[in-house]
Structure 1
Amino acid sequence: MPETHRDREPQPTMSEVDHVEHTHSCNVTEMLRDAGLRPTRQRVALAELLYSKGNRHISAEHLHEEAVKAEVPVSLATVYNTLHQFTEAGLLREVAIDGTKTYFDTNVHDHHHFFIEGENRVIDIPHDGVGLGRVPKAPEGMEIVRVDVVVRVRPKS
């Protein structure tokens, strides 16, 4: 018996697929504009890579690798510049480890981190996982912006 158009599952039209992709890009575009950044093609592409996987911690090198795999034509220097621009605009939080390794956190709310040695991986500490008894007074003319705690861990021997 020949298949009729009523027998087939409805398939999304190209315009529906385009609409979904366009809606996602528009959300990223709006986010960049709201942060005071011009939504250039590279910024939009990097923001989509950053925020499409939920909250995470990522290095510039790893984001560059993701961009290359996604065929986003961007240099490592541009990735670094963009990550720093996003941080200054409040879209990312910078997590420095030993002053030699920097990760960028898509969760900008106050929280602390574990750094897993040997894996070079950063994970969030649950919100109530760290209690600070005292924080020093800021030097004259300065204010404390935030306190970052990084607890270094490794598997037991």
Structure 2
Amino acid sequence: MEVRLKTQEQAIDGLIRRKLEAAGVRPTRQRVDLGRVIFGAGDWHFTAEMIYQETRTIRFAPTLGTIYNTLNEFARCGLLREIAIYDAKLWYDTKTGPHFHFYREDTEELSDIPDEWLPTIDIPPPDGMRIAAIDVIVRVKKA
């Protein structure tokens, strides 16, 4: 059982390494450890502080500064999407394609708006420009 678990961990680490390398990121041990936490849960939204709490049990737990640096590098290379919320909290999203968000002010939770609810937004860019992204955050709170 333990050997099988070790083999699964090695396979996951290999996938993370290839993902990082494909994005042009050097797959250091700490980046692979953080990649396992970040990308191992599917699509989700998180802050650096959430990752910091999540990684406290890793043998060589990264500092908050290392986490911020790694998240910035992952976002710069297109592995993560940065989402700035108005209360100065920076969120990260593993789903990097176009989509919109709900932000619950009372619980400070970020979630995707279902695709079938999305409006069509057709905004022409200024001359000589192209639209890189349209970010929409719908702020909600309990009625």
Q: Calculate the TM-score normalised by the size of structure 1.
A: 0.84
- Give the aligned CA root-mean-square deviation in angstroms: 1.6
Deviation at 1:15, TM superposition (A): 3.5
Hey, what's the Cα distance between the residues in 2 that align with 1:135 and 1:99? 27
| Structure 1 position 76 matched with structure 2 position 64 | yes
- What fraction of aligned residue pairs are identical, expressed as a percent? 35
Q: Could you say which structure has the larger radius of gyration?
A: 1
Hey, what's the Cα distance between the residues in 1 that align with 2:29 and 2:64? 16
2:90 corresponds to which residue? 102
| Structure 1 position 154 matched with structure 2 position 115 | no
Q: Which runs of 5+ in 2 are unaligned?
A: none
Alignment of 1:124-139 (within 5 A): 124-138=112-126
2:75 corresponds to which residue? 87
Q: Which runs of 4+ in 1 moved over 4 A?
A: none
1:5 corresponds to which residue? none
Q: Calculate the TM-score normalised by the size of structure 2.
A: 0.91
Structure 2 letter corresponding to 1:110: P
Find the partner of 1:21 among 6, 9, 25: 9
Aligned positions, number: 143
Hey, what's the Cα distance between the residues in 2 that align with 1:135 and 1:63? 36
Structure 2 letter corresponding to 1:24: I
Q: Which runs of 5+ in 1 are unaligned?
A: 1-11
The structure-2 alpha-carbon separation of the partners of 1:72 and 1:55, relative to structure 1 and needing over 3 Å to count, comes to: farther
Structure 2 letter corresponding to 1:154: K
Hey, what's the Cα distance between the residues in 2 that align with 1:108 and 1:133? 18
1:57 corresponds to which residue? 45
Structure 2 letter corresponding to 1:126: P
1:119 corresponds to which residue? 107
Deviation at 1:99, TM superposition (A): 6.2
1:35 corresponds to which residue? 23
